[in-house]
Structure 1
Amino acid sequence: MSDRSTTAPLLSTKALTKTFTVGKTMRPGSGKLLRAVEEISLDVYPRETLGLVGESGSGKSTLGRCLTRLYDVSGGELHFDGEDITKAKGQSLTSVRRRMQMIFQDPSASLNPRRRVRDMLGEVLRVHKIREGKAVEDRLAELMDLVGLRRDYLDRYPHEFSGGQRQRIGIARALAVEPKMIVADEPVSALDVSVQAQIVNLFSDLRDRLDLTYVFIAHDLAVVRQVSTRVAVMYLGSIVEIGETDALYAKPSHPYSQALLSAIPQPHKRDRRERILLSGEIPSPLNPPQGCKFSTRCPYAKDVCRSLRPPLIPVSGERKVACHFPLD
C-alpha cells in the first residue's frame, strides 16, 4: 500500500452530487428532487481498499456508479488517474472504463445466460483491443487461473456454476481489461457465509498480486473490516466519518458509526459492545432533516444539530467526522 502523505490519489471527488427527479409527469415543474449523493469529497489512493458502509438507502451503490461514470454526475468534480472525467464521453469515457471496472452484487444477473464464459470474456478483450488471435486464448486461460477456476469452465454457461463460481467469473471479466481500480458493489452479500470468506480472500490476493485499488461497498461490517484499509461511513447520501479501519472500528467518533459498529456480532463476551438501538426510521431523501441529517435519530443531538449541518473535518490524524459533538 502507498504512503498517502506522499502519493497522489488515484481517484478524487470534490462536492460530488447525484440527484434524481421522481414523480415527474407531463405537467411543467412536477416531480420532486431526490439527492441520492450530496456533496461528497474523498480521495482513494493507489493499492488501498476503501470500504463504504451504511444502511440500505444511504447512497453507497449510487456513489459507486457515479465513481465509474455508469451514472452521469449532477454536480461537483470527479478525477481519475490525473484526468478530469466529470463529463467524459465517447472514446474518452471508454478509455476510463478500461482502467476502472465495476463488480456487481448479483453474479447471476450480471452474466448473459445465453453465452459461454469464453464468449463473454473474449468479447471484452476484442472490444477494448487488448489481445488478438492466439493471445486471446492465452489471456482467457490466465484469467481463469487468477480467479481460481478450471480452464475447461470457459466452455460452460452461467447456469452451470454455483453462486461463488459465477462471482469469480464476474471478477475475471473485470480483470480482463487490466484495470487500475475496481468498484465492488456488495460482491459477497448474495453468497453463503463459507463462500463469502473465499471471495474476500480472493479480493485481497488479487490486490497484492496485481497492485489493484478497490472501493468495496458492503453492509456487512465484519467483511469490510477484513478487506479494507480505510472505511467511509455513509448516511442519507453523505459521508459522516472516514478513517483508518482499525482506528475507526476501535473508537468511532460519529454517533451513527458507533451505533453501526455496536451491531457487529462478537464471539467473545469480552469483545462485545453495548448494543445501541437507533430510534425512528431513516428519513426520506426527498425530505431530509434540516441541519445534521442524523439529528432525528441521534441520542446526543442538540439545538445546533437541528439547524446547522456539520462539515466533514479532521478530528485526529487522518480521521474526519461530520459532527458538532464528536465522541471522545
Structure 2
Amino acid sequence: MEKPLLSAVGLTKHFTVGKTIRPGSGRIVHAVEGVSLDVMKGETLGLVGESGSGKSTFGRCLTRLYEPTAGRLEFDGTDITRTGERGLLPVRRRMQMIFQDPSASLNPKRRVRDIVGDAVRVHGLRRGRAVNEWLDELMDLVGLRPEYLDRYPHEFSGGQRQRIGIARALAVEPELIVADEPVSALDVSVQAQIVNLFTELREKLGLTYVFIAHDLAVVRQVSTRVAVMYLGTLMETGQTDALYAAPLHPYTQALLSAIPQPENRGRRRRILLTGEIPSPMNPPKGCVFSTRCPLATERCRTERPELAKRADGRAVACHFPLEAAGS
C-alpha cells in the first residue's frame, strides 16, 4: 500500500486571545481541532470551507509555520511535529508554501533576483553562475521574462507577482507545495491563467499540492481529491468527481449548492443555511455543524461524529450520511 507523502494525525491548533499578565487570563480559540488527513504523492488535495473554517491555519501547521498545539505531523514517514529548526531545514526544501497576497509576501525593497535566489543559496543547491542560470529557467517556467529578475515587486501586476511567488517556491525544487488561497486576491481574468499554471507545473515537475481555496469552481478544476472543513473540523473527504456529484455531508451539499450554474445546465437546489457560524472560542458540544444543519437531531447536538471511512474510499463525519445524500 502506498504511503502518504504528508500525514496529519489529530492535528490541533489553539490560539489564546485577550491574555494579560494575570494568570489564567485569555480565551482559547479552537482554530483546528483534531484533524487527521493524508496527502498522497502526486495528487492535488483541495481544502475548502467558509472563511473562518480553519483551512489556512491547518495549511500553516502542515508546513510548521505554526506550531501544532497537539497531534502528530509526518513527512515522508518521518515525524516532524517537534523537529527543531536545524532538523527542519532539509524538510523545508522539500515542502514549500505559496501565500494568498503576493503584495504582502514579497519584500518590496528587494529585487526579484534576490527574493527568488536567496533560498537557492541558503540550501546550497547551486553556486556562482549556476544560480543565475537556474533563475532564468524559473522565470521561463512561470511565464515571465528573465529580465524581470532585476525589477522590484511594485513594478508588476498582481498576477505577475503571484508568478514570482510561485517561482520562489519552486526555486528549491520541492516535492510538495501548500498553496493558501493563491488566486483569491487576483482579478477574475487572471485567476484562470494561474490555475492553468499550477496544473502545467504539476504535470511537468511531478509536484504534489495542498490547494486551499473557498472558490469551489476553482477547486474542482485543479484538484484530484477534496477535503471539506468547517469550524476547524474535517467534515468530508473524497475524490473530486464523486464528492461534487453526490456529497454525503449536509454542509458539503450546502456549499456545492451555492456554485453559480449557467442557465442552460441543470441547477442544483440551493440550500440556504440559517444562523451564524458558532464562535471558535465556544464550539458546539456535539457536531460542530449541528447549530445550522437542517437534518440535525438530539444525537447530533450531544455526540460528535467521527470521520468514518467508507468502502468507496470516501470519508464523512456525519451520523446520518445516507439521509444527507438522499435529501
Tell me the TM-score range normalised by the shorter chain: over 0.9
The equivalent of 1:230 in structure 2 is 225
Structure 2 unaligned regions, length at least 5: none
Please list the CA deviations of residues 248-275 of structure 1 after superposition, one character each: whole Å capped at 9, or x if unmatched.
0011000000000000011144321111
Instruction: Give the match for residue 3 of structure 1.
Output: none
Distance across 2 between alignment mates of 1:183 and 1:75: 20
Does 1:304 find its partner at 2:299?
A: yes
The AA in structure 2 aligned to 1:224 is V
Q: Do residues 92 (structure 1) and 124 (structure 2) align?
A: no
Name the SS for the 1:271 alignment partner: coil
Instruction: Tell me the distance in 1 between the aligned counterparts of 2:71 and 2:185.
Output: 33
Kindly indicate whether residue 278 of structure 2 is the aligned counterpart of residue 283 of structure 1: yes
Deviation at 1:37, TM superposition (A): 0.5
Match for residue 152 of structure 2?
157
Tell me, what secondary structure is at the counterpart of 1:195? helix
CA drift at 1:91: 1.5
The correspondence for 1:141, drawn from 129, 136, 141, is: 136
Distance 1:270 1:183 in 2: 33
Question: 1:80 & 1:185 partners in 2: Cα distance?
Answer: 19
Q: C-alpha displacement at 1:32, in angstroms?
A: 1.2
Aligned to 1:69: 64
Range moving further from structure 2, 164-173 or 31-40: 31-40
**Residue in structure 2 matching 1:39, options 20, 34, 43:** 34
Counterpart check, 1:217 vs 2:212: yes
User: How large is the Cα RMSD of the aligned pairs?
Assistant: 0.8
- 1:164-191 Cα distance to aligned partner (Å, 9 max, x none): 0000000000000110100000000011
CA offsets, 1:225-264, max 9 Å, x none? 0000000000000100000000000110000000000000
2:276 counterpart letter in structure 1: E
Aligned partner of 1:13 among 8, 20, 23: 8
State the alpha-carbon separation in 2 of the partners of residues 123 and 311 from structure 1.
44
For 1:241-280, list aligned pairs within 5 A. Answer: 241-280=236-275
2:235 maps to 240
Following superposition, which runs of at least 4 residues in structure 1 exceed 3 angstroms of deviation? Answer: none
Which residue of 99, 103, 112 corresponds with 1:104? 99
CA distance in 2 between partners of 1:174 and 1:91 (Å): 19
Aligned counterpart for 1:177 among listed residues 172, 176, 179: 172
- Distance in 2 between residues matched to 1:8 and 1:316, nearest whole Å: 19
Which has the higher mean CA deviation after the structures are superposed, 118-127 or 99-108?
A: 118-127
Structure 1: 5+ residue stretches without partners:
1-5
Counterpart amino acid of 1:215? V
AA aligned opposite 2:183 = V
2:105 aligns to what SS in structure 1?
coil
Match for 2:269: what amino acid? E
Q: Give the Å deviation of 1:316.
A: 4.3
| Inter-partner Cα distance in structure 2 for 1:237 and 1:145 | 38
Aligned letter for 1:153? Y
SS at match of 1:65: helix
What is the alpha-carbon distance in structure 2 between the residues aligned to residue 285 and residue 229 of structure 1? 30
TM-score, normalised by the number of residues in structure 1: 0.97
Distance 1:218 1:131 in 2: 34
CA distance in 1, matches of 2:93, 2:266: 43
- Cα–Cα, structure 1 residues 43 and 308, in superposed 2: closer, same or farther, change >3 Å? same
Could you state the TM-score of these two structures normalised by the residue count of structure 2?
A: 0.97
* Structure 1 pair 263–316 and aligned structure 2 pair: CA distance change class (3 A): farther
Question: How many residues in Structure 1 have an aligned counterpart in Structure 2?
Answer: 323
State the alpha-carbon separation in 1 of the partners of residues 287 and 315 from structure 2: 15
CA-CA distance at 1:7 after TM superposition: 1.6
What is the SS of the residue equivalent to 2:310?
Answer: strand
Question: 1:229 is aligned with what amino acid?
Answer: T
